Structures are given as structure tokens and as C-alpha cells.
Structure 1
Amino acid sequence: MWPSLRAGDVAEVEPLVEAPRPGEVVLARFESSLVLHRVRWCDGSVCALRGDNGGMEDPPLPLVRILGRARRVRRGGALLEMDRWDVGPRRLGRWRATLKRQVAAWLGRTGRA
């Protein structure tokens, strides 16, 4: 989720009371990991997510696999509200993610970049 979230940030997540809206950052459980990604769309039972600078949308997830919404972030000693940490995707981040995927492919590594 760089640049919105940085190494060392700690996200405060609140439980879902209603289905997440497009643009919100949520904590989701995938098969082997937990991720914080942005909601692309949600129809009330299934949601599609994508990291801010990822190349592709994640496979659709059932709503029960969305654990909560990111609301605040602790960065260093400061507690940042959403308007101070959620900067959204950036061209530099997309370029960085693309470059990482290309280097991984060149090195013969697979998986998410």
C-alpha cells in the first residue's frame, strides 16, 4: 500500500458494521496472509481489492474475509487520521511495483511483487 502505508506504520482497524465502500482501505484474510488493500468494488457479498500500486486486482473475496477498515495509522510517535495518511496510488508507486515484478521475472522468481 505504499505510499499510503510505509514500513513501520501500524494501522488501527475497526470491525465492519456494513459493507465497505470503493476507495476504503480494508484488512482482508487471504489463504496465506493478511493484507491491507483498497476496495475496488463490493456488491454486498463479494469484494474486489487492489493494492494502491499493484498491477492487478486481487481475486474477488467473500465479504466474510474482510476483517475491518483501516481508520488511523501510528507513524513514529504520531497517530494520523485518515486524511493525513491515506494518499492513494501514485505514478511513482505503480512504476516501482512494475519494476519489481520485471526484476523478479528476470530472476526467475514467482509470486506477488
Structure 2
Amino acid sequence: MRAGDVAEVEPLVEAPRPGEVVLARFESSLVLHRVRWCDGSVCALRGDNGGAEDPPLPLFRILGRARRVRRGGALLDVERWDVGPRLVGRWRATVKRQVAAWLGRTGRA
């Protein structure tokens, strides 16, 4: 996703599948991350531009599945916005984490 995008999220009816983008609640934040694996009770997620997999989360912390994104007035289906990891995005995420560390800010709890 890009700055200014708005995601449309639908509630989960069944466990998410690997590759799907889901909205998850961590201790101090909500994130849209891609499912790496899910065994029906615990799921592992990773942001496309993240350097590492997130700690496994219980399924009840997965709030919904991303279906569409509104970008600049256009409504994009998952096939048009969900292109996966990008080298530039990973670089930007790394720089943002380093700047936050220098400023004494922490990431997810």
C-alpha cells in the first residue's frame, strides 16, 4: 500500500490462506500484512517490505482480509494493487526503522 491508500477489509469467515493480505491487531498497532502460513489457530505474517516474519499471532487477532484499496479516487481490486515486495519499499522500511531507533522510538510491542 501507499501513503493515502484506504483499504477495504472484510471479516474473516475462514482461516486466511498464505499470500492473502490481512488486517491484524498487534499489542500497540493495526497492520496490513501478508499471511506466510496459518495452521487454523495461529498465523505468521510478514509485511511485504519487512525484513523478517512477525511473531506468530493467534487467529483471533486477525481482524479481516483486505479486498480492495481506494487509491487517488480509483477503487482497485486486489489483483491491481497487491504486487508483493519491492526492493525500494524494503529499503524505505529499513531506513524508517533505523531513524526510529535513532530517535528512541520503538516498534511493535
TM-score where L is the length of structure 1: 0.86
Alignment partners' CA distance in 2, 1:107 and 1:67: 31
In the superposition, relative to structure 1, how do residues 32 and 102 fare at CA in structure 2: closer, same or farther (>3 Å)?
closer
CA shift for structure 1 position 26: 0.1
Contact 2:34/2:48, CA 8 A, preserved across alignment:
yes
Alignment partners' CA distance in 2, 1:30 and 1:112: 7
Unpaired runs of 5+ in structure 2? none
CA shift for structure 1 position 107: 4.6
Could you tell me which residue of structure 1 aligns to residue 34 of structure 2?
38
In the alignment, does 2:97 pair up with 1:101? yes
Unpaired runs of 5+ in structure 1? none
Aligned residues: 109
Q: Secondary structure at the match of 2:97?
A: helix
Contact 2:23/2:62, CA 8 A, preserved across alignment:
yes
TM-score where L is the length of structure 2: 0.89
Question: Aligned-residue CA RMSD in angstroms?
Answer: 1.9
CA-to-aligned-CA distance 1:60-101 (integer Å, 9 cap, x gap): 110011011000011121111111110110111112222333
Out of 96-105 and 79-88, give the one that drifted further.
96-105
Q: Secondary structure at the match of 1:95?
A: helix
CA shift for structure 1 position 112: 5.5
